[in-house]
Chain A
Amino acid sequence: MLELQDLHKHYGDVAALDGCSFEVRRGQLLGFLGPNGAGKTTAMRAIFGLVRPDHGALRWDSDTISAETRLRFGYMPEQRGLYPRMRIHEQLVYFGRLHGMSKTAARHRASEWLERLGVAERRDGRLEELSHGNQQRIQLAAALVHEPDLLVLDEPFAGLDPLGVESMGEILSERAAAGAAVVFSSHQLDLVEDLCEDVVVINEGRIVLNGPVRELRARSPYRYLDVEISGGSPDWPSAIPGAEVVSIGDGRVRLRLDDTADLGAIVAVAEKAGVVRQFSFEPPNLSEVFREAVGR
């Protein structure tokens, strides 16, 4: 299990991490969310010793993380980077061996991953000759080649086409199912909601939400109401106490209700305005939970 405990990191007057704590268990696929500049990348870099926290502890299986422990970690940084002129297979073998694999094992695994990711026929090409999407695949393979116990990926879905997104998602789920602790950051919240049972949300350097997606949604003080009516004026929901319009258009209205809102009264207003086609009442989706948590 990976534990980040009360991490603090300041750059001048700016606090990149301000008491950040969370855990990733083996077998867990954890979504790590937060607006830009919230501290996601800093926290991930701290795991790999690329940032030295001013304060706090980082542990793996209850031991302080050392250079030795990190050999069992795999990292895909946000800013992709590999050796552009190095041959692809050779490059993966190199990273495998840097993480302590034998030459034979590294070669074998590298070939397997190239096969799996559909770039086997480019194995002796140079990285710089590949398309952007394929370079991204190699970057993933470089993080995976030594079959790490902990896999940390910074925005792994950014810049992938729908097929790439799907295969990336499959691989991450599969690694978690195989017993690795997997944590990744993303801004694509629908995707995270599909893939992950658990998320943590960081804002201004500290964790503001942490838990299973379903619980976080249920725990929200707000409920969302979708109403579709035909005929009638579109501004019917204005001035309903306890309700706030989230979106409106094409006869559909999405309202955010706090606990003072009277559902019966809203139904009455809606029926007065036109014929109600659809009426659904549900907890917020992950994006809405996220927005509530970061206050934007």
Chain B
Amino acid sequence: MRPLTSLLLVAIRDFKERVMSRAFQFSTGLTILLVIAVIVAPSFFDSVGGVQWTIGTVGEVDPAMVEQVTATAPIADVTVDSTAFDDLAAAETALEDGDVDIVVAPGQIVVNDATDPTLMALVDASLMAAGALDRAATLGLSPGDLADLLTGDYEIRKIGADGTGEASNRAFAFGATVFLFISIITYGQWILIGVIEEKTNRVVEVVLGAVRPHTLLAGKILGIGVLGLAQLIVVGGIALVGLRIQDAFDVPTATAAIALAVFVWFVLGFAFYATAYAAAGSLVSRQEEAQNVAFPMTILLMIGYFVASFSLAGENTVLRIASLLPPFAPMTMPMRMASGEASVWELTLSLTLMVCAVYLLIRLAGKIYSGALLRSGAKVKLRDAWRAAEG
């Protein structure tokens, strides 16, 4: 029972210390703002650059017509609204001034040279449809019957850049790779800095009087890992919700798979790299040396990242191999999973290797960590740390 309680105490302390820190709050806020900006900005520019038409109405114009136009407009990638005028003269002036694009009055449609033919066709068709509704009622047809009568046996399908194919899934999954890469590096650095800090200010001597090194290591990784995951879920959640609302591009086929892949590979990838970062941190006593000892991890992460980014165009052998190997799998496998290119056996093999690697690394790094943690001063040699470790 004791080690578990200690582990949780350590985890909660590390979690809280970072949540409370200005740096964390600032970076989380900034990330969220960036994500929102990236999602919102394109649609903002779209609506500014997109076409907007205004219909001027005079007198008793059938509201069904305006509704019909407004509802149909998005198919033509335009937005339509309407302004009512008291008399025809005022409406025509507005048309000449360019304040409205078309005028609809009882019994007539007024246009000028600037009126777009599409708008004219839209209004014309809508007036006809609205009129047909009225006349159908007098003939004893319900709106439903009329709809059946008028609806053709076809659907409108738009093709092109926004298709929901493999390529867009892969592009989207690459976003997840970037996310994983940044997350693992960021939270890995927190672990690294946290370990060095405890060693530098010697608090580790007081802590280790009450807690075993393995427990301290596990608690730290758990605390920072959960924090990282929480940040990831918040930022990722905002991104997904934002995309849904904006309907920025077609996500449905890949979303669930990517979310799951990101979660699983973050947990595994973080466990792997966090342990390595902790062991590296335990070797040195000064923050200045942090980047030197972190170098091997940074390189491995970069390789995985570059393999993924060079494979945006499609599958290749390097990507396939990398996605099986533990240090690179967290950056490469989610992409293959999302695009549906990874076969079941590849995924199983990759996950098995990764889990084994995490287990081995925790044993190995845990030993280095406990051997090196209490040796201050010059950088501890791996061999000495290994020998000094208990058990």
Binding site for B on A (CB under 8 A): 45, 48-52, 67-68, 70-71, 73-75, 77, 79-86, 94-95, 97-100, 142-143
B202–A85 touching, CB < 8 Å: no
A70 to B206, CA, bound (A): 11
B209–A79 touching, CB < 8 Å: no
* B194–chain A nearest beta-carbon distance, Å: 10
**Which of A50, A94, A142 is in CB contact (< 8 Å) with B208?**
A50
* B160–chain A nearest beta-carbon distance, Å: 54
A68 to B388, CA, bound (A): 22
User: Could you give 18 example pairs across A and B, Cβ below 8 Å?
Assistant: A45-B374, A48-B205, A52-B388, A52-B390, A67-B212, A70-B210, A71-B2, A73-B209, A77-B206, A79-B376, A81-B201, A81-B204, A81-B206, A83-B13, A83-B17, A95-B210, A98-B211, A100-B2
A85–B390 touching, CB < 8 Å: no
B208–A83 touching, CB < 8 Å: no
B156 at the interface (CB under 8 A from A): no
Q: Restricting to B10-33, which residues have a CB under 8 Å from any CB of A?
A: 13, 17, 21
With a CB–CB cut-off of 8 A, which chain B residues contact A98? 6, 9, 207, 210-211
With a CB–CB cut-off of 8 A, which chain B residues contact A74? 209
With a CB–CB cut-off of 8 A, which chain A residues contact B212? 67
With a CB–CB cut-off of 8 A, which chain B residues contact A99? 210
B206–A51 touching, CB < 8 Å: no
B208–A48 touching, CB < 8 Å: yes
Told that A81-B205, A82-B206, A85-B21 touch, could you supply 4 new A-B pairs with CB distance under 8 A? Answer: A73-B209, A77-B206, A79-B205, A80-B202
Known A75-B209, A98-B211: A84·B9 in contact at CB below 8 Å: no
Q: Which residue of B lies closest to A75 (CB)?
A: B209
A81 to B203, CA, bound (A): 4
With a CB–CB cut-off of 8 A, which chain B residues contact A79? 202, 205, 376
With a CB–CB cut-off of 8 A, which chain A residues contact B202? 77, 79-81
With a CB–CB cut-off of 8 A, which chain A residues contact B388? 52
A281 to B205, CA, bound (A): 47
Known A50-B374, A79-B205, A82-B206: A68·B2 in contact at CB below 8 Å: yes
A100 to B2, CA, bound (A): 8
A110 to B6, CA, bound (A): 18
Q: Which residue of B lies closest to A70 (CB)?
A: B209
Output the residue of B205, B210, B374 with the most chain A CB within 10 A: B210
